[in-house]
Chains A and B, each alone.
Chain A
Amino acid sequence: MKRFEVPCIGDAMATLETRDLYLGYARRMVVNGLNLHIPQGQVTVIVGPNGCGKSTLLAGLARLNKPRSGAVLLNGQPIGSLPTRDVARLLALLPQDASAPEGITVNELIRFGRQPHQGLMRQWSSKDQLIVENALHAADLVELADCALESMSGGQRQRAWIAMAIAQDTPLLLLDEPTSALDLGHQIEVFELVRQLTNAGKTVVMVLHDLFSACRYADHLVAMKAGRIVIEGAPDTVVTSALIEELYGVSCVLLKCPQTGTPVITAIQPLPHKQQKQQGQTEFVAEEFQC
């Protein structure tokens, strides 16, 4: 296993929580009255079926969606009321649909991570350079630094994006399915990198589809359905076959990895009736908050 040198220069702390948070799009409420406290210095993973509002929640946590009501509190203050540049020094988001300016190289991409720390008065410094180099090392991209982002493989590209978020040097990192396009080897590399970041004191929130990775790498697992939290806590206490049935409408067998003790979920077959009933509930909840 590769050892990663994790840059840990910024020592800013940040807490992130939601108070009775409602998020939605034009006529549809997606997140319904959510109270969530992100534990500091840990990996929080949000899981749930498609459309359960987990990506919307992550975007809300990163001030990309304005709350319909309730609040996202960053260091105790509503995130929308803080200057966006100040927020960018505390919180970095890697969205799923990240796209970069054409022709950009890896090094240039990572340098953009320093943008929130730049200004008219505050020019590029040796500290910025050090952080960028650390991020290159951490994501194992030193040899690829001058390659065009477009010419790289999906895994390398994803590592470059994560390196940019690392270079932003924020105490909070939000990653939306950071491994969705990666093969097993690259997935593990990304997760190890995430673990190193939390070991260095950073707080990470990830949305993941893959339940095994979620159980394996989460300190704190949040299971969502229809815009609400079903249950949250340490993966081995939270994950039960009943939970999987409720979330995904499938019957399953729960195993334990003999080496790590991580819960392993093996889906057996869908439960059609239950699924339909639950979808009905979802629609009811959604209609309740139409405006």
Chain B
Amino acid sequence: MLLLACACLVSLTFGGSRPIPVKDALLVLAGQGDAVSRLLINTLRMPRILAAVLTGAALGAALGAAGCLMQTLARNRLATPGIVGLDNGATAFAVASILATSTSLLPSMLALSGAATAAVLTFALASGSGSRGYRFIVTGIGVGAMFSALTNLMLSQAPIDAANRAYPWTVGSLNGTSVVAIRALAAGLFFGLPWACLLGRQLAAMGFSERVSISLGVRLGALRMTTLAATVWLTALGVAVAGPVGLVALIAPEIARYLARQGGVPVLNSAWSGALLMVVADWAGRNILSPIEVPVGIVMAIIGGPYLIWIVLRQPDRRVQ
């Protein structure tokens, strides 16, 4: 939370062509400061940054929580929505809609149904998440590959303008998000996050082998279905707003686990970590190479990949499944 506030402050200070000293920025936030700084911060930067931060945080939270749920569901830390094809499904559907119609809300709706389609396909083809999740992951990678191929095929056949419009959907970006989509994300998260946390409590027993969890009175079938539904819901919300930024779903739970250092399913922590990661990645993408804005999905891969490797290497005593 504190880190999030600091990130906002840093954005306020440096988030433009004319840097404002931290002291002045704080003064403005307290309702004082000189006129130029006030104008810059209150009317120009504040709304933009707030919007970016809120969107990023909501998106990261949704994807972080979704990643944590799916990892637990499949009993495998590789099993994140991005890897089992949900992101690709959403992208394929969204790109298809842009190439066909080019309206603004429809891609989001279709991304949602794309993610759901991919999830249902994977789950049905793998006939459940299985005991160790290999089957589920391999099937998911297959389904994801098909959707990704479909996306590329469509992009290669489309006229260049349409392909350009569809491009943000293939890399993951917060730049072209519509207000409606962001509102939908916020509303969906309002239900989705408490739901995920509630599921997280029940999912704690999923770490046991199947026979043990049944013996403990867990209704495995029902729990799996609801968890999958929640995962699709959260992932689809995120992907519908920003395209595939799936790596956050892989990294956020790792950070959460690293911070928690004990048992349980860290859904809420994953959501927090995801939110923070996304905000930082978005900020970095906008500012580091300014005036070029790097899509957040690419930044996530650049900083996220090495960080993930570092986290896993740091805990050699823990089993990496």
Contact = CB atoms under 8 A, between A and B. Distances in A.
User: Which among B206, B216, B319 has the highest number of chain A CB atoms within 10 Å?
Assistant: B216
A97 interface: yes
A59 B215 CA distance: 10
A33 interface: no
A56 interface: no
B204 interface: yes
Interface string B281-320: 0000000000000000000000000000000000000110
A116 B263 contact: no
Contacts of A102: 207, 318-319, 321
Contact of B263 (A64, A95, A104, A113): A104
Contacts of A112: 204-205, 208, 216
B209 A99 contact: yes
B319 A116 contact: no
Contacts of A98: 208-209, 211-212
A94 B211 CA distance: 8
A95 to B, nearest CB: 4
B217 A104 contact: no
Interface in B38-79: none
B210 to A, nearest CB: 8
A274 interface: no
Interface in B182-225: 204-209, 211-212, 214-219
Contacts of B263: 101, 103-105, 108
B84 to A, nearest CB: 21
Interface residues of B, number: 20
Interface stretch (A36-44, A81-89, A130-138, A220-228): A81-89
B208 A103 contact: no
A56 B312 CA distance: 39
B211 A103 contact: no
A115 interface: yes
A97 B318 CA distance: 20
A93 interface: yes
Given A101-B204, A103-B263, A84 B218 contact: yes
A87 B217 contact: yes
A217 B187 CA distance: 61
B241 to A, nearest CB: 31
A154 to B, nearest CB: 17
Contact of A101 (B207, B216, B218, B219): B207
Nearest to A105: B263
Contacts of B209: 95, 97-99
Contacts of B262: 103, 105, 108
Contacts of A87: 217
A13 B184 CA distance: 52
User: Which among B207, B212, B219, B318 has the highest number of chain A CB atoms within 10 Å?
Assistant: B212
Nearest to A168: B216
User: Which among A103, A116, A168 has the highest number of chain B CB atoms within 10 Å?
Assistant: A103
B215 A95 contact: yes
A62 B318 contact: no
A100 interface: yes
A37 B318 CA distance: 45
Contacts of A104: 207, 263
Nearest to B220: A84
A254 to B, nearest CB: 35
Contacts of A94: 215
Nearest to A100: B208
Nearest to B209: A99
A234 to B, nearest CB: 29
Contacts of A113: 216
Contacts of B206: 101
Interface string A52-94: 0000000100111000000000000000000011111101111
A286 to B, nearest CB: 24
A105 B211 CA distance: 20
A88 B207 contact: no
A52 B129 CA distance: 30
A105 B207 CA distance: 13
Which 3 A-B residue pairings sit nearest by Cβ, starting from the closest?
A: A101-B207, A88-B217, A116-B217
Interface of A: 59, 62-64, 84-89, 91-95, 97-105, 108, 112-113, 115-116, 150, 168
11 contacts: A84-B217, A88-B215, A93-B215, A95-B211, A98-B209, A98-B211, A103-B261, A103-B318, A104-B263, A115-B216, A150-B319
